[in-house]
Amino acid sequence: MTPMAPPVRRQRPAVMADVAKLAGVSVPTVSRVLNGSAVVRPDKRDRVLDAIAELNFRPSATARALSLRQTRNIALLAGNTSHYGYAETIRGVEEAARAAGYTVSITVAETTDDAEVDRAIDLVLGQTAAGIVLLKFDPAGVALRERIPADVPLVVAGGAPGSDAPQAVLDEYSAAVELIEHLLSLGHRTVHHVRIPPSRDEDGRTTGWRRALADAGAPVPPLWDADWSAATGRTIGRALAEDHEVTAVFAGNDEIAMGVVRGLTDAGRRVPEDVSVVGFDDHPLAELWSPSLTTVAQDFAALGRRAFGLLLALLSDEDVPAFSADRPLLVLRDSTAPPPPTAPESH
C-alpha cells in the first residue's frame, strides 16, 4: 500500500579511526595531518587527506575540546538581543569572533529576577564556553555580573567603568556633556532628561547631563524615566509639552528621542522651533526622522569587537588592558535650535 520508502538509514558519521583505517595509518597520524602538529610523510599525508574527503570526515569538536580542555566558543550574556545598541554590539562580537575562528553562544536574562538570572548563568556555565562577554548595559546586565563566578574568564562591555574584569566601554559621560553644552550654548536655560533604564544608580549619560548642567550653573530638573520603547518616549513627550518652560530635552537614546519628538508634536509643539530634542546612539533612522536628530554616534559594533579582543587576549594569557574606552562623536542635525524668543528667561 505505502509506496516503497527509500532506505533512509542515517549512517554513523565517520570518526578519526575510520579515516586512519582507510588510509592505513594510526589515529595520531590523522590527528597530526589535521592539526599540522608534526611533520607527516607526504604520501601518508595524501592518503589521509583522501580518506578524509572520501569519508566526509569532520573531527568532533566535542572530543577535541575534552582533550584540549578548551573550546573555540564564547558565551555572550545580555539583557536583550534586539534593541539597537545590543544588536549592534552583538554583531561586533560575532564579527570579531568569527574572524578568530570562534562561535558565540548567546543567552539572555530579561529581568533582574533572581531565578531568571541564575538560570541564564547556569545555562552558560553548563555549556562549553571558553569565556564570557557580558553586556552590562542595563539592570539585568548588572545582576548577571554579580552571579558570574570569579574563576571564569570574563570581559565586560559597557556599563560604568571600574569593574574588576577587563572592560570595553564607550565614553558616554563625555558625550553627554558635549551634548548638553551644545544645547546650553544655543541659549537654553536648562535641559530636561528622559532617562533609559539605569544600570545601577546612574548611567554615564545621566551623570554627564547632571554634571554639565551643574558646571554651567543651570538648574537640574527632575528626571523622567523611560523604558527601552519609543512608545514611552511619546507619552513623556506629551507630558513635557504641557510645560512651556521646557525648551530642550535630552533623551537617553534615539528611539526614545523619536518618541519624545512625536509626543511633543502630537501636543502641538514644534521641534526644534519650540523645543529642541537630542538623542543618543545615532540610530540609522535618526537621520531620516523629521526633523533629523541631533545625537551622538556610538560605535557599538566596534565596542563588541574590542570586547572580544580583550577576551581573546585574556584567554591567551596575554597582557590584557583593564580598560578600553572609545569616544562617541557629536552629530549635529536639525532637531536642535535656539529656544524661542518668547521662552521665559526665568520663573
Partner DNA sequence: TTGAAAGCGCTAACAA
Partner DNA sequence: TTGTTAGCGCTTTCAA
Residue 310: partners with Cβ closer than 8 Å, 6 or more residues away:
155, 166, 167, 168, 320, 321, 324
State the nearest-atom distance from the C-beta of 15 to its own copies, in Å. Answer: 11
Binding of residue 315 to DNA (CB under 7 A): no
Binding of residue 127 to DNA (CB under 7 A): no
Pairing, β 295-297 against β 329-331: antiparallel
Peptide bond into 341 cis (omega under 30): no
Binding of residue 25 to DNA (CB under 7 A): yes
Contacts with its own copies by CB under 8 A lie at 10, 13, 56, 58-63, 65-66, 71-73, 75, 81-82, 84, 87-88, 90-91, 94-95, 98, 101, 103-108, 119-120, 123-128, 149, 151, 229-231, 234, 255, 258-259, 262, 265, 284-285, 287-288, 290
In the list its own copies, DNA, none, the entry touching 101 (Cβ below 5 to 8 angstroms by class) is its own copies
Taking a C-beta distance cutoff of 8 angstroms, is the pair 295, 281 a contact? Answer: yes
Q: How far apart are CA 233 and CA 230, in angstroms?
A: 5
- Region of 34-42, 145-153, 241-249, 296-304 interacting with DNA (CB under 7 A): 34-42
Q: How far apart are CA 146 and CA 139, in angstroms?
A: 11
In the list its own copies, DNA, none, the entry touching 39 (Cβ below 5 to 8 angstroms by class) is DNA
Binding of residue 53 to DNA (CB under 7 A): no
Q: Which is nearer to DNA, 45 or 327 (CB)?
A: 45
Closest C-alpha to 55, from 19, 28, 20, 30 = 19
Residue 321: partners with Cβ closer than 8 Å, 6 or more residues away:
166, 310, 313
Taking a C-beta distance cutoff of 8 angstroms, is the pair 254, 277 a contact? Answer: no
- Region of 37-45, 84-92, 266-274, 275-283 interacting with DNA (CB under 7 A): 37-45
Per DSSP, the residues of 91-158 read: HHHHHHHHHTT-EEEEEE--S--HHHHHHHHHHHHTS--S-EEEE-SSHHHHHHHHHS-TTS-EEEES
Binding residue count for DNA, defined by CB under 7 A? 31
The label of the residue with cell 551634548 reads: 179
Sole binder of DNA in the list 69, 126, 201, 346 (CB under 7 A): 69
User: Which run of H or E residues covers position 233?
Assistant: helix 230-242
Binding of residue 28 to DNA (CB under 7 A): yes
- Region of 58-66, 111-119, 122-130, 230-238 interacting with DNA (CB under 7 A): 58-66
User: Which run of H or E residues covers position 67?
Assistant: helix 61-68
State the nearest-atom distance from the C-beta of 137 to DNA, in Å. Answer: 33
Sole binder of DNA in the list 53, 54, 66, 244 (CB under 7 A): 66
The contact set with DNA (CB under 7 A) reads 12, 15-17, 24-32, 34-35, 37-41, 44-45, 57, 59-60, 63-64, 66-69
